Amino acid sequence: MKACVYSKYGPPEVVRIEEIDKPMSGPDQLLIKVITATVNRTDCGFRSAEYVVSRLFSGLLRPKFQVLGNEFSGVVVETGSKVKKFKAGDRVFGYNDIRFGAHAEYILMGMNEPLALMPHGWSFHEAAALTEGAHYALCDIKAAGVKAGDRVMVYGATGAIGSAAVQLLTYFGADVTAVCGPWHTDLAKKTRRHYGTGLYNT
């Protein structure tokens, strides 16, 4: 299968398209044909390793996992014998910032890893771009112990993490103040729409 591979840290030019072995699913894994994958800040950070601390996870001298891509959408093509929640043909989207691997024609995911069926009516493009920002936003919200009625200010409310935080916080019933540039206020207001009953200010 074709994949975007990098064997050393550096600028975007270190990534090249190569033929690599197609992964084979184990009993508790799914093989997914990738339809859409993003290139996001996590991919870029691990590829460049400018923040040296990232090498503690990705490999000290060279990357352990040479195919990036942590958020994706696609179609299940194979399931292991222990997998009950998914079946071949399912449209799914997921997230993997441990092994990455979505910048390839196929990706392996464990049955208990962050993976879900795509809601009816969603496109593969919409689903693929959903997970990374929401993942970090939810982690921060949980770490802060936010509960209904709390007043929360979100800086950068129209970025991937900020827009997800606005939606999640509003859903959880928080009083949200969104901070963004004046040219993004319409987007911030649109982000709030249809999410919960919390208060919202821009």
Domain boundaries, the chain: 2-128, 133-201
Radius of gyration (Cα) for the chain, nearest Å?
A: 19
pLDDT at 106: 98
**DSSP state for residue 111 in the 8-state scheme:** T
Tokens of 181: 């540039």
pLDDT at 180: 86
**DSSP state for residue 104 in the 8-state scheme:** B
pLDDT at 202: 45
pLDDT at 194: 42
Alpha-carbon distance 172 to 14, whole Å? 42
Q: Please give the CATH number for the structural domain made up of 2-128.
A: 3.90.180.10
What lies within 8 Å, CB to CB, of 1 at 6+ separation is: 19, 20, 21, 22, 104, 105, 106
> What is the pTM assigned to this prediction?
0.84
pLDDT at 200: 46
**DSSP state for residue 40 in the 8-state scheme:** -
- Which class in CATH covers the domain with range 133-201? alpha beta
Alpha-carbon distance 141 to 144, whole Å? 5
Q: Are 149 and 199 in contact, with CB atoms under 8 Å apart?
A: no
pLDDT at 57: 86
Residue ranges, the chain, pLDDT below 70: 191-202
What lies within 8 Å, CB to CB, of 87 at 6+ separation is: 76, 79
